[in-house]
Homo-oligomer: A and B are copies of this chain.
């Protein structure tokens, strides 16, 4: 029997686990709740106990695995196998994860940050079609990303290659970004960015669109509300949709003019808007790319959903 891999996707709410073949097929999948109490000190012991428990259940041992890969939030030192500053895990000090896991389980351990790992997953088994050049962009609460170029995951000189959320795209009326600068893609294309745009254009809008009424009534408006209303032709929602598309389309076009990847894979919660989202972005992308890029770089939706993390984590073992 060929040896297997364990993939771990560590998040602030849950830790997802999978046992995969070396071809990236998931054979077993489970998850546990992330216990962030006591400065996150239970997280690694819980991960170790959960793996031990499942290996026993499945009658497997360390010898059946070539390695464990993990994606983590925070600042990851992939050489030392440590994480620091993962605030949604309450990890403020350096966590020696590789050392703890390897000594408890006796299986080689590899780690990278969560957006990079999701990029590897989508590139390997998802919408990236295992091409050598793939950019992954995740539109969630923020905007993150990861880049595979000539088959290699890029990290950059300061470890922040692929942090696509801080590309400047809004020059006219830039919102402040949490990073300290203004006009970042994240301020207009994340879930919170779409709400920013909605508030901006609602203020100026004088018609009787449903979205306007929701805002004026103080109802909760999310990215999903906006896309659903835009699909139904709501006038204000369409204004927001067109501006969102313009910003995201320019960012994708400029990324493609630099890297010319085979695919720019768009994932994260906001991408649930699906083909409608892609259509708006594609139009702006086509207007802002020169012919050789336009015909060789495709915009596509992510298709692995929550599995991208564990699959990409597993692929770290094979790099």
Q: Mark A143-178, 1 if CB is under 8 A from B, else 0.
A: 000010110111111111111101110010000010
What copy number does this chain have within its complex? 2
Report the minimum CB–CB distance from A277 to chain B (whole Å).
20
Q: Mark A238-267, 1 if CB is under 8 A from B, else 0.
A: 000000000000100111011111100000
Secondary structure of the A side of the interface? Answer: loop
CB-CB under 8 A from A156, the residues of chain B are: 133, 259-261, 296-297
Sorting the interface of chain A by its residue count into under 10, 10 to 19, 20 to 34 or 35 or more gives 35 or more
Asked whether A180 and B150 contact (CB < 8 A) given A164-B257, A257-B166, A258-B259, the answer is no
Report the minimum CB–CB distance from A92 to chain B (whole Å).
18
Q: Does A22 contact B (CB under 8 A)?
A: no
**Contact (Cβ within 8 A) A297 B133:** no
Please report A residues at the B interface, Cβ cutoff 8 Å. Answer: 131, 133, 147, 149-150, 152-164, 166-168, 171, 177, 179-181, 183-184, 250, 253-255, 257-262, 287-293, 295-297
What are 10 A-B contacts defined by CB distance under 8 Å?
A: A150-B154, A152-B152, A154-B259, A156-B261, A159-B292, A163-B290, A166-B290, A171-B171, A181-B289, A255-B258
